[in-house]
Every structure is written in structure tokens, then in C-alpha cells.
Amino acid sequence: MTVSPSQVRTYLLAKHHLLNRDGVDAESVADDLVGLHATSNVTPYLSLFNRIKHFSPDDLNDELYRKKSLVRVRAMRGTFFLFTRRLLPIAAEATEFPPERVGKSLTHAGISVGEFEKLSKLILNCLASGPMTLPEIKRDVSRESSRSLDWKRGRRVTRRTNLGVVLQLLLVQRKVQSQPEPIKWKSIDWDGYGTRTFTRIRKVRYRQVSTPETASTNEGAKLKLAELYIKQYGPVTVHDVAWWMDESKPEVLRLLARLRDKLTNIRIPRHVDDFLLHPDDLPVLQKTREVDDCVRFLPYEDPYSKSRKNRGLMIPKASERQAYVTGNALPSVISNGKIVGTWSLAADDDEKATVNVKRLAPINREIESRIFEEGHRLGAFLYGERSVTVSLSQTDRTLMGEAHPLLSRECPSRQAG
């Protein structure tokens, strides 16, 4: 079976609630995306803004801080995700951090096993009385136990403390949970978002947690996670599954062999590898037709842009490094599922703000109009009544769109069934 790239993109837009913003609520969308990316504390808000009509930041705050229906944990690839209580046991068991990786991290940091065990006990004793920030933990732990480290990452060397390293390892071991302070939406300084890696989290508290009840064995959880990923993100390749789950290719092939009845292979022109899809989704994919005017402003590390290792469906190889800097998915503008630009924000003291769009692909007049419209919609969500300008850079000129009343038109669905 062969399907076109445009069919796949439109199918994925619908699957991810990006086509018509038909997500029901934060909890259901988090399940549909197998977790919301949450390395940056504002990414889940912008991801939901793109997927739920009339979404308000208070909607997510309510789930996080009142209902506590979403939990922030390190999971696939060591990345922070927001999981529902339903998926948390599966994700926690499937992405359990093996002891040998803890050992490698300690060796890299220059921390002995004895020092790690001592600091772990001190940190957990501190948190036994209640949630604390890292500075508060440092104040409670004796100075004799704390020291600075030279942390090497490629060519970069940064200064870290042994307490900070141990705390991060306790996070991946899920003995500790992190919780950023509630966002006060109107007080966020958006200036520079998109040019920095992500917005600064002003205060994070850590609390001691008990080991979550697991839904199954590690093997069963991995099988379920692989099945969920293919169901929600397919068509995907074996390499995509291995990358997303942070597993070796042989291990993924072994898992997929046990899911044979829940997989079908399809071909996509100009792609060498076969793609995997759940058989129930094939009729829907076959009936899907391309859209021609769907534009969305995705945040840093959005689940759509960070969904696969092979990104050829979304962006040409020649432009990929401009949208994925050191592997991080920058805030991006997608048109009909393809990444056509990146975006950033600039604000001044005169209550004016600009949404800057850097073009990465040819854009026709109709798409330009949609970019301005969607950029103003984003500006209203971020800034409220503040005056917002959308700037679209071109190879030979810059187009400016002044703020105007927002249009209510949505992307028309061309998906049958």
C-alpha cells in the first residue's frame, strides 16, 4: 500500500487535533499525544492552544495544581512530559532508568557511588518535611557535602553542583518529582522567546514521592508504549520508534515482532524505509485528502514537530538544521503539516510586541495571509489587549502585518470519515 506525503501530513494534523482544534480538554489531548512535552514550562500551554478551541491557560493550571490530573516526570529520552494518571504507570515502567546508566552519569560527573548515596539520603531527608527548591535544599545540606563540578557537554563546559546532579538522577529514578510554580500568564516576559532555548522557569519545587503502581512488567509496559506511539504517531519507521522510545533498534524489532497483528506496512514515495501503521487507521488514511490553508504556530519542542527521527515528511533535509538546532525543535510555523518557518517574539516597554517569522520555504500569498491571521491570534493569546505586529521575513523583503480584529475561520477539514 502506497500513500502520498500530503495525505500523511493531513492525517497527522487531524490525529494531533491541529487540523480543526477539536481537542476536548487538556487531559484527553495529553492522552492522545502520549504525553505533553514539558521541558519548557510554557510549551504545554501553547501546544494546547493549537489543539483546543477557546483554550485558556487557567484550564491547564486547573489540571496541574487543583485536580492534579497531570504529572510532570522525566520519561522517553530523559525528556519531561505531562502524563495523565492513566498513562503514568505505563510510561514510568517502560522508561525506567537502568542502574548502569546512573553509573555512567556519575562517572561523567566525577561523583562516586558513596557520595551519590550520601547526597541522595540527605536530599530525601530534606524533602521529607515538604516540597523545597534547590536553593532551599542547598541551605539545609551542610557546606561540607556540597561542591562544584565541571560538567562537559560536547565542547561546552558548565559549572554545576554535585547536589544538582544527584537531584536530577533522583528525578529520573522517580524518587523525586519536580513541580514548577504556577504560571501567572499576564506576568510572563515573552521577550526573546524562540531565540532562547526556552523560557526560564523562575522557581521549581521538588518533593519526595513513593514508587508509582505499575500497570505491568517492564516488558509489558514497553509493548504498550510502542503500540501507543505507532497508534498515535504512525505512519512511523522502525528508526522513529527506537528514537522516540530511546531503545536500540534490535530491542525495538523484538518488541514489534510481538505486535505483528497490530501493525501494517505502507510505503511513502521518496522514502526508502517502510512505515508502520495500526491496521484500523489505514482506511482513514486512504480517504484523507490534502488541505491547502492550514497554518499553526507550534511552540518549542511541540509533540508534532518532535514526533520522529526521520523528519523528511515535515521539512527538507537542507532546512532541517535551521528548525532543529542541536536537536531541539524551535518554535515553528507549519503550513499544511510542513515546517515553512520558525518564529520568535520581541517586546519593548511601549506595550508593543512583534511576532517575527523567519521563512524557511516558499510561501504563496494565501499562506502569507494565513500566517498573519494566525500570528495575530497567537499574539492575542499571549499578550491580551497589547498591540501585536506580525513580521514575515523574505529573501528580498520583510512583510509587516499590523494587529487587526481576529478572524474566526478554522482550517477546513478534508478528511473523510
Q: Which of 149-153, 181-185, 338-342, 385-389 has the highest average model confidence (pLDDT)?
A: 338-342
pLDDT at 405: 40
pLDDT at 188: 85
Q: Residue 212: pLDDT above 80?
A: no
pLDDT at 398: 54
Backbone angles phi, psi at 46, to 5 degrees: -75, -35
Q: Which of 14-23, 119-128, 167-176, 394-403 has the highest average model confidence (pLDDT)?
A: 14-23
Number of structural domains the chain divides into: 2
In a domain, residue 183? The reply is yes
Q: What is the pLDDT of residues 355-407, one digit of tens each?
A: 999 999 999 999 999 999 999 999 999 998 788 999 998 654 455 565 444 33
Q: Residue 413: pLDDT above 60?
A: no
In a domain, residue 15? The reply is no
Report d(CA 35, CA 362) in Å as an integer. Answer: 33
pTM of the entire structure? 0.86
Grid cell of 262 as nine digits:
497490530
In a domain, residue 55? The reply is no
| Average pLDDT estimate for 228-253 | 97
In a domain, residue 42? The reply is no
| Full residue range of the structural domain in which residue 155 is found | 98-172+175-208
In a domain, residue 133? The reply is yes
Q: Residue 20: pLDDT above 50?
A: yes
Provide the b/e sequence for 31-58 (b: ≥16 CB within 10 Å): bbbbbbbbbbbbbbbbbbbbbbeebebe
pLDDT at 160: 81
Q: What is the pLDDT of residues 323-365, one digit of tens each?
A: 999 889 999 999 999 999 999 999 876 678 999 999 999 999 9
Lowest average pLDDT, out of 16-25, 87-96, 118-127, 152-161, goes to 152-161
In a domain, residue 168? The reply is yes
Last residue of a domain, one of 208, 233, 259: 208
In a domain, residue 11? The reply is no
In a domain, residue 67? The reply is no
Q: Residue 408: pLDDT above 80?
A: no
